[in-house]
Amino acid sequence: MNIPVRGRVAVLSVHTSPLEQPGTGDAGGMNVYIAETATRMARRGVPVEIFTRATSSEQPPVAELAPGVLVRHIAAGPFEGLGKNDLPGQLCAFTAGVLRTEAHHEPGWYGAVHSHYWLSGQVGWLARDRWGVPLVHTAHTLARVKNAALAEGDEPEPMVRVIGEDQVVAEADRLTANTDTEARQLVELCGADPLRTVVIPPGVDLDRFRPGDRVAARARLGIPRDAVVLGFVGRIQRLKAPDVLLRAAAEMLRRDPGLRARLVVLVAGGPSGSGLAEPTSLQELAAHLGIADIVRFLPPQAGAALATVYRAADVMAVPSHNESFGLVALEAQACGTPVVAADVGGLPVAVADERSGLLVPGHGSEQWASALASVALDPARRERLAAGAVAHARDFSWDRTTDALLATYADAGREHAARLRRRLVAGIIEG
């Protein structure tokens, strides 16, 4: 096949490693995105090296994620105890580690740089200039967008991030956005060039996440086959709003006390972000609402175990205050489980309202209770939405995402090379 990138792709993921388990700490959809696309690039003959910050002295300098995909752990600051807001002070050390790695190879070892999140973009900007290759950047979230939709009690993103994002947006050869909405936000809020902004939707692993036996899934989790199961998968933090699901479940029981004998709220994930300061807050909320007996907490799940959680649920809740896309919603739908999601960010793309699930305009417990009950307690509607969920998920795949990324690298590379030639010619003429 025609390889669209000469050399390797250097993927930068400063604050979180694709080797980490999504659902806790800073690991989430971005980790999945990087791992899935890097693996598929390597299968297409494009080697990938992922640079991330070392967080333990026990991590090897280099680890293999998949054939053709290496993860390089760069020492930058103390191994533990650093949050994302502490990392800007370590970017110089991280950048030095990245540049040292390239210096051990012949020129052209890396053919493109793809940075994920603004911290990585700061490093990518310097690497791009040093190596003479294009920089493609994926923001995943934007500070201005997050600050406009803060959950109660959450701290706003700092100004250093706002300024840093604007710098990366101005410097990147290409910006990729998950949705048209995100692309518009990049242009309107960050001054991005529309001609350098490309919409590339994320995907879902349709081999791993597919419809299965609900009764068997419930048996594996110790849930009665006739239970009414409401599910949540994700990091436990205010931004993801798992409290909305608990409050909605309590409201459902207030309306129908007899439902308590059958209702199960399944929560899979670990503390992250603001949740790290209050790791038992969700358990305490369940007790305060009087529903501790019906809430099941699971640690973050991976692979087949995660698919089992999706299949066991009658409906999955994605009540986030903001999502650039919402991979959990796609994964659940691919398993044949309808999704009730907040009508924010990229979720209206990830969920087809009234076809694969429902979108809720707000976070009130009464409206969420009504939406969840209308799916979970209505078998005919649930089955109709389940069929729509599978069909909707099939429109997304990591193969399609990967092909679009490789095409974007190639376009950016051609434009970058032409720009360098023009500068060289101009320099000769002026000289």
Helix, strand, or coil here: 277?
helix
Residue 21 annotated in ligand binding: yes
Residue 337 annotated in ligand binding: yes
Residue 313 annotated in ligand binding: yes
Residue 31 annotated in ligand binding: yes
Pick from 223, 226, 249: nearest CA to 317: 249
Residue 383 annotated in ligand binding: no
Residue 29 annotated in ligand binding: yes
Residue 117 annotated in ligand binding: yes
Residue 181 annotated in ligand binding: no
Q: How far apart are CA 102 and CA 315, in angstroms?
A: 48
Q: How far apart are CA 264 and CA 227, in angstroms?
A: 7
Residue 314 annotated in ligand binding: no
Strands 357-360 and 263-268: unpaired
Q: How far apart are CA 57 and CA 67, in angstroms?
A: 24
Residue 240 annotated in ligand binding: yes
Residue 27 annotated in ligand binding: yes
- For the chain, the helix, strand and coil percentages under 3-state DSSP, each to the nearest 5: 50, 15, 35
Residue 26 annotated in ligand binding: yes
340-371 burial string, b = 16+ CB within 10 Å, else e?
A: bbbebbbbbbbbbeeebbbbbeebebeebbbb
Lookup: tokens for 400 = 């399609």
Residue 85 annotated in ligand binding: no
Residue 323 annotated in ligand binding: yes
Return the ∠ at Cα 7 (arms to 3 and 9), rounded to 5°: 90
Residue 311 annotated in ligand binding: yes
Residue 301 annotated in ligand binding: yes
Annotated binding site for 1D-myo-inositol 3-phosphate: 15, 26-31, 84, 117, 141, 161
Annotated binding site for Mg(2+): 310-311, 313, 337
Annotated binding site: 15, 21-22, 26-31, 84, 117, 141, 161, 235, 240, 301, 310-311, 313, 323, 331, 337
Annotated binding site for UDP-N-acetyl-alpha-D-glucosamine: 21-22, 29, 235, 240, 301, 323, 331
